Structure 1
Amino acid sequence: MNDIKKIVQGALSFGVSLLIMLVVVVAFLGVHIIDDGFVGVKQTLGNYQDEELGTGIQLVIPFLSTITKVDTRIITIKESVKVPSKEGLIISTELSVIYQIKADRASEIKQTVSGNIEQTLLIPYIRTGIRNLASGYDASAFYSQDTRTEIADALKVKLAENLDENLIIVDVLLREVTLPVRVTQAIEDKLDAEQKSQKKEFELVSAEKDAEIEVVKAKGIAEANQIIGESITQGYLHYRFIEGLNDGNTEVIYVPTEANLPILEARNK
């Protein structure tokens, strides 16, 4: 009798222990922690709950309900796309699209969008948008940073128009553009020719300026000679002659003549 009692007590003890362990496991499986930057979308028996779950500890009944975490932080997606130019040349582009899922649309997105939202929604719109925009520009225009910025801004507007219900398009960057070799060479040749032309134009302007300076100098010398010539009178020459005679160190004496022409006489000190 005692043996049976011990067996029963042992079975009860084991059952209680098993039950406690089961409760602990169920409780563990039913606890979900939603971190900052995420929202939770609850699904019960296949049906999504419309209201998103906020950050913190959330409880569900295991095997009946699940919680899917949706990242609502700012995300950057990088995409490589080959696009046709206006004349039909193929250009390789590298894009970065910075976006954010709207927290209050997470449940709706899980219900209506199959698979990854980037692959299902964002990337198709990126590819279509950049191709349509690029086809309006000549290939050579992509060499300009202004054109790249213009296309990126236009793509941002297009993406926002199509995805504004579920996503916030923070920014679009056209990081890199690879043009066909012959287009790049043609642009570089054109820039080189323009630089040479500008150099020749600069040299021409410099030469004209130098010529103007020489003309001004010559004009100044001529005017100075005219002034000097007009200032040398007969009386001035007599004065310099007498002054030279009185100065024993004078090497050149101006001798006034009857023809009003000075005779230069060199003499030793």
Structure 2
Amino acid sequence: MDAEVSKSPKRTNISFVISSLLIAFIVVVAGLNSFASVQYGHVGLYKTFGKLNDEILGPGIHLKMPFVQTVIQVNTQVTKAETDTSASSKDLQPVSTHVAVNYSVNKEAAFNLMNNIGGSFDTVIISPAIQEIVKEVTARYPAEDLIAKRDVVAGEISDHLTKRLAKYDLIVNDINIVNFKFSDAFNQSIEAKQVAQQQALKAENDLKRIEIEAKQKVAQAQAEAEALKLKKQEITPDLVQLKQIEVQEKALEKWDGRLPTVTGGATPFIDLDSLGNK
């Protein structure tokens, strides 16, 4: 009887220790679950028994009800979505387009986005919107214009996509058409056309060069003819007589004083009368 009485306090002490440890464990776990952190570049939303609260939580540590509430995080940083699209141009050329879109979530509207669409909005909203708009815009341009007017096409896609995603509180920051891919037959026709254009340009340049050279020759001939005409106008009887006198004077300077022997009745090569008159 005494032995049983002595064991009861020990059992009571053990039970008390176990209960205390259990309570302490529960308190610690509850304390740890009373806080939640929101990472930088994100916003948080309280979720209580599966229901979202519209209160927007900024980055940092926040209190929550343990085991009842959780905090889901929504990335508000710029994110890239890449999509491959197959379409046809206005002239019915098959076109494969790889598009990269940089977008972000409107912080103030994160509750509406998550409550109405959920966390898979990139595959539910963004990717289908990109494919539909790229097909729509591509069908408005001939295949060659898709290459030549790449910036215009990208701008039109960006405008339509911005309006479409704004309905879901998504912001389009930038869009890039990474690549346009056409059929091999179309690529060969483009290459042949470029070669023909280069040859036509070369022929045109050669023709212009020949025309310029011909004009230069005509101009040179006209200048020479004009110069000859002026020279003829400068020649007068007095000038001819002066030139004759100059020639005779030079001949006289070289004369050694002896008259040449002339046969056959030829006259001397110097006009002595003219020299005497001079």
**Shift, 1:241, TM fit:** 4.4
Compute the RMSD of aligned alpha carbons. 2.5
Partner of 1:47: 51
Q: Tell me whether 118-127 or 199-208 shows the greater mean CA deviation.
A: 199-208
CA contact (8 A) 1:114 1:120 kept: no
2: CA distance between counterparts of 1:55 and 1:114?
20
Partner of 1:95: 99
1: CA distance between counterparts of 2:83 and 2:51?
34
SS in 2 for 1:73: coil
Within the candidate set 222, 232, 237, 1:229 is matched to 232
Aligned positions of 1:114-193 closer than 5 A? 114-144=118-148, 146=149, 148-165=150-167, 166-193=169-196
Identify unmatched segments of 5+ residues in structure 1.
252-262, 264-269
Q: Using a 3 Å threshold, how does the CA distance of structure 1 residues 60 and 88 change in structure 2: closer, same or farther?
A: same
2: CA distance between counterparts of 1:240 and 1:137?
82
Q: What is the TM-score with the length of structure 2 in the denominator?
A: 0.80
Q: Does 1:80 align with 2:81?
A: no
CA contact (8 A) 1:140 1:183 kept: no
CA contact (8 A) 1:98 1:170 kept: yes
Q: Tell me whether 237-246 or 87-96 shows the greater mean CA deviation.
A: 237-246
Partner of 2:272: none
Q: What is the TM-score with the length of structure 1 in the denominator?
A: 0.82
- Number of aligned positions between the proteins: 249
2: CA distance between counterparts of 1:227 and 1:55?
96
SS in 1 for 2:46: strand
**Shift, 1:41, TM fit:** 1.4
CA contact (8 A) 1:73 1:101 kept: yes
SS in 2 for 1:88: coil
CA contact (8 A) 2:146 2:153 kept: no
2: CA distance between counterparts of 1:204 and 1:89?
36
AA aligned opposite 2:97: T
Deviation string, structure 1 residues 175-196 (Cα, Å, up to 9, x no partner): 2100111112212222221222
CA contact (8 A) 2:42 2:74 kept: yes
Partner of 1:266: none
Deviation string, structure 1 residues 21-40 (Cα, Å, up to 9, x no partner): 33222222332111221111
SS in 1 for 2:145: helix
2: CA distance between counterparts of 1:232 and 1:163?
92
Deviation string, structure 1 residues 190-210 (Cα, Å, up to 9, x no partner): 222122212211211221111
SS in 1 for 2:25: helix
Q: Using a 3 Å threshold, how does the CA distance of structure 1 residues 87 and 223 change in structure 2: closer, same or farther?
A: closer
Partner of 2:266: none
**Shift, 1:3, TM fit:** 6.1
Identify unmatched segments of 5+ residues in structure 2.
255-268, 270-278
